[in-house]
Chain A
């Protein structure tokens, strides 16, 4: 995201994925002798931040459920599940499912385009 674009959406989940992968990348760097304690502290701070964000999202889901009532919450969750094909009775679960599904779709498309370009350029070289 940069200023001028609407924030989050699947971008939020994507960046969460990047943070999740950081320790593995850092471990690889450590094996190459390129890691440092500052980098591990940075990773820990990002993990901590995301833990707080997830906790707050859970809290928000609970408040929303309470605010709109259990029946309405179930109704909305059923609608969201029907729309997304998710096997869940939770609104947050269905929304998350839809976002992850979109992210996987977008990523697959990007890698498909990349494969097409690589194959086409390889064929062009022949």
Chain B
């Protein structure tokens, strides 16, 4: 069991750093060894294939990511290696499930680091109990944000790829295997996976279930086609470690660190991809209390990211139009939903209430088609009313966030996350 306790102040901190550096170098060398064996074989195979099957000049040669296992029975290895970071604060209830889902992956994971962000429950102990290969790090004091906790652990990463998952998120067994091949293009800096709620019981979870089906299976593939996913979701995304370091890790200037990072990647001229086959299942808010906290943070994050990145967004093709339309819809919907339609219904004719369902087919048709493909047609059908409720709540929170950030000047810096 390897446990790295709190990061002490100097001179111990220097020792700790040098130890981490040594570990990193050692791991890097072992990774290079694997590459030395595997890469030439893959390269020769690729060249042969291109000579025999595809004599036309190849413009952009995809780089192989998954190497075959060296010994029979071993899991295939990821060239360059992968470290999984799991930031956790009082996630004792869920962290074990998350770690086990990482351990069950069909590809070899080089390192799993759990950042126990000074939890007051037994998160750290539970994580340690999951296996000797799980590294648990505990900062000297609570980081205050997920971004800071992730940056703390980034110092210990020695692999070419870094994957961040939330402590309440489980992965499908083949999620990482499906996710990583999207790094085959040199321009790709990050890849995000498909998200669906783990539990779909309460009204809030049902609303979120429809929201995710719609956003991840309808909008996101279109965004991915244009190589501009609006956000690489923080609950399950992989990054090239050197790009992460180049960007200074996860930024703490906004409360939407995942969106901030995604848009920073675009600023570098790199791309982000979406893998619909790589499934993850976070625990979504099950009541209004937690939902309101999450929405407050998400909406404030969106507004803050626009504030920080607006010049870069305007200079980034497709992204600028996506953000502008999302912004317009977010701002105008409050006027339409809360003012225009009720007034028309009261003073002109109640039939105007049908306006609330004007875009019903646009949402329901794709959602039901996707749900039917997953064998969840009736679950989706019965969850659709919950989505309409959540949509009202979303409208309220996004309006409040924009008011606070741009007019009220009451920017959110501290937030409560988790369960």
Which residues on A are within 8 Å of B, measured CB to CB? 1-12, 14-15, 18-19, 22, 25, 32-34, 39, 42-43, 46, 49, 52-53, 56-57, 59-60, 64, 67-68, 72, 75-76, 79, 95, 102-103, 106-107, 109-110, 113-114, 117
Contact, CB under 8 Å: B349 / A72: yes
Q: Find the residue from A7, A9, A10 having the highest chain B CB count within 10 A.
A: A7
**Complex Cα spacing A6 to B324, Å:** 14
Contact, CB under 8 Å: B324 / A3: no
- Which segment, of B19-27, B198-206, B240-248, B362-370, faces chain A? B362-370
**Complex Cα spacing A16 to B370, Å:** 18
**Complex Cα spacing A72 to B353, Å:** 13
Contact, CB under 8 Å: A22 / B394: no
Contact, CB under 8 Å: B314 / A110: yes
CB within 8 A of B363: which of A8, A15, A22, A49? A8
What are the residues of chain B within 8 A of A19 when measuring CB–CB? 222
- Please, could you name 12 A-B residue pairs with CB atoms under 8 Å apart, sorted by A? A1-B230, A2-B302, A5-B326, A5-B329, A6-B398, A7-B329, A9-B336, A10-B328, A15-B222, A53-B361, A109-B324, A117-B314
Contact, CB under 8 Å: B329 / A11: yes
Q: What 7 A-B pairs are tightest by C-beta distance, nearest first?
A: A9-B329, A56-B361, A4-B298, A6-B333, A8-B359, A68-B351, A14-B325
What's the minimum C-beta distance from B222 to chain A, rounded to whole angstroms? 5
Binary contact track B294-337/A, C-beta < 8 Å → 1, others 0: 11001100100000000100110010111011101110110011
Binary contact track B340-357/A, C-beta < 8 Å → 1, others 0: 000000001101101001
- Which segment, of B3-11, B119-127, B132-140, B210-218, faces chain A? B210-218
Contact, CB under 8 Å: B56 / A1: no
**Complex Cα spacing A67 to B350, Å:** 12
Contact, CB under 8 Å: A34 / B315: no
What's the minimum C-beta distance from B213 to chain A, rounded to whole angstroms? 10
Contacts A33-B59, A95-B358, A114-B320 known; A10 to B222 CB distance under 8 Å? no
Q: Classify the interface of chain A: helix, strand, loop or mixed.
A: helix
Contact, CB under 8 Å: B351 / A110: no
Name the residue of chain B whose CB is nearest to the CB of A64: B354
Contact, CB under 8 Å: B302 / A4: yes
Name the residue of chain A whose CB is nearest to the CB of B294: A4
Contacts A3-B215, A6-B330, A46-B222 known; A107 to B321 CB distance under 8 Å? yes
Contact, CB under 8 Å: B366 / A49: yes
What's the minimum C-beta distance from A96 to chain B, rounded to whole angstroms? 10
B60 contacts chain A at the CB level, 8 A cutoff: yes
**Complex Cα spacing A60 to B361, Å:** 8
B273 contacts chain A at the CB level, 8 A cutoff: no
Name the residue of chain A whose CB is nearest to the CB of B214: A7
Contacts A60-B361, A110-B320 known; A5 to B398 CB distance under 8 Å? yes
Contact, CB under 8 Å: A34 / B60: yes
What's the minimum C-beta distance from B231 to chain A, rounded to whole angstroms? 5
Contact, CB under 8 Å: A4 / B394: yes
What are the residues of chain B within 8 A of A5 when measuring CB–CB? 299, 302, 326, 329-330, 394, 398
CB within 8 A of A9: which of B56, B221, B315, B332? B332
**Complex Cα spacing A109 to B310, Å:** 13
What are the residues of chain B within 8 A of A3 when measuring CB–CB? 208, 211-212, 215, 298
Contact, CB under 8 Å: A114 / B315: yes
**Complex Cα spacing A58 to B354, Å:** 15
Contact, CB under 8 Å: B351 / A4: no
Contact, CB under 8 Å: B59 / A2: no
What are the residues of chain B within 8 A of A75 when measuring CB–CB? 349
Q: Find the residue from B214, B337, B354, B363 having the highest chain A CB count within 10 A.
A: B354
Name the residue of chain A whose CB is nearest to the CB of B391: A6
What are the residues of chain B within 8 A of A11 when measuring CB–CB? 325-326, 328-329
CB within 8 A of A110: which of B294, B299, B321? B321
**Complex Cα spacing A40 to B57, Å:** 21
**Complex Cα spacing A125 to B339, Å:** 47
